[in-house]
Amino acid sequence: MAESTNNKQKFCQHSDSFVTRAVLVWTLEKLDAGERVAIASVIKAQGSVPGKPGARLAIGSCGTIFGTVGGAGLEMKVEKKLNEMLEIPPKDLRKQGGYVETFQLYKDAKGEKATPLDSLCGGRLTVAFEVIEPVPHILIAGGGHVGRSIAISADLLGWAHSVFDVREEFSNTDRYPYATDNFSSRVNEFLENESKESLLRFSDILLLGHDWSVDQELLLGLLKIRGDSIRPRIGAIGSKSKWNAFLRAATGDGMNEKFLENVRCPIGLNIGADSPEEIAIAVCAEILALERGME
């Protein structure tokens, strides 16, 4: 009998670990796709409760849900709180942080230092709530000197980066060994494999091409896919005259002016940067400021 009980305990521990792992893997997949994820974790439980320590429920910013903290009235309250947290701007949530709440699973639990639930279980559990933000993932469109310097800066910051260049020698694992992806193709071939949803994995797309016509073709194609969304952010290196030329091309192509409102050109904070390394610092500083809601 004792052996049977021990086996059952081992199975439960394995099941809890499996569920925890599954939720965390799902969360990482959503973060890699550019979503914010609100996650609730049961960190303490007493008495008869539906969710044991380690139970987790996660909600992505696109509305998908994964995992469970036990179901019933508890699940409904937890889902509501997670959705409320996702509505808080990242800048405010960064200051506020997450929080911990204790629930009493008994409808007459008045006077308790816990949130009462319409339940007869009688147990008590504590849940931690937090929102995990995706790290910036920069698509470096142009693998020259500036692009390489931005990639190095991104690596130092713990950010992700991918590289696109029509020239294979400027987008490969030898030149960019830590890139999430290296793309080398014609612009139209790259765009054919992207959608509005897939582009969301990038926080920023930086047009750093060696040829203005490549940057222009990529910009117009990206805007047609992205529409008037604010993500991913798009920025182009270059002068105001270059940007004015892009505007004329966009207008001539029948582009909706709203699609162009969130494009930045020139990119980078104005710190008097000249060298590729200095430009990389200015660009990454601007991205950090945008991520933190400082601009």
Residues 60 and 35: beta-carbon distance below 8 Å: yes
Average pLDDT over residues 267-289: 96
The pLDDT assigned to 1 comes to 39
**pLDDT computed for residue 16 by the predictor:** 54
DSSP state at residue 47? S
pLDDT in tens, 185-242: 999 999 999 999 999 999 999 999 899 999 999 999 999 999 888 899 999 998 888 8
- pLDDT at residue 117 in the model: 53
If we measure between CA atoms, which residue out of 232, 141, 209, 152 comes closest to residue 181? 141
Give the pLDDT band (50/70/90) at residue 7: very low
Which strands make up the sheet holding 56-60, listed edge to edge? 65-67, 56-60, 37-46, 124-132, 99-104, 115-116
| CA dist., res. 42 & res. 57, Å (int) | 9
Contacts of 265 (CB under 8 A, 6+ apart): 235, 236, 237, 238, 240, 242, 243, 246
Model confidence pLDDT, tens digit, residues 17-76: 556 789 999 999 999 999 999 999 998 888 766 668 888 999 999 999 999 887 677 888
pLDDT of residue 284: 97
Cα(165)–Cα(208) distance, integer angstroms: 9
Q: Where are the domains of the chain?
A: 2-132, 137-291
137-291 folds as: Rossmann fold (3.40.50)
Condensed to tens digits (0 to 9), the pLDDT of residues 102-151 reads 887 755 545 455 555 555 456 778 999 999 999 999 999 999 999 999 99
Q: Quick count: other Cβ atoms within 10 Å of Cβ 130?
A: 16
Higher per-residue confidence, 284 vs 9: 284
Tell me which of 73-87, 136-150, 240-254 is least confident.
Answer: 240-254
From the centroid of its chain, how far is CA 125? Answer: 30
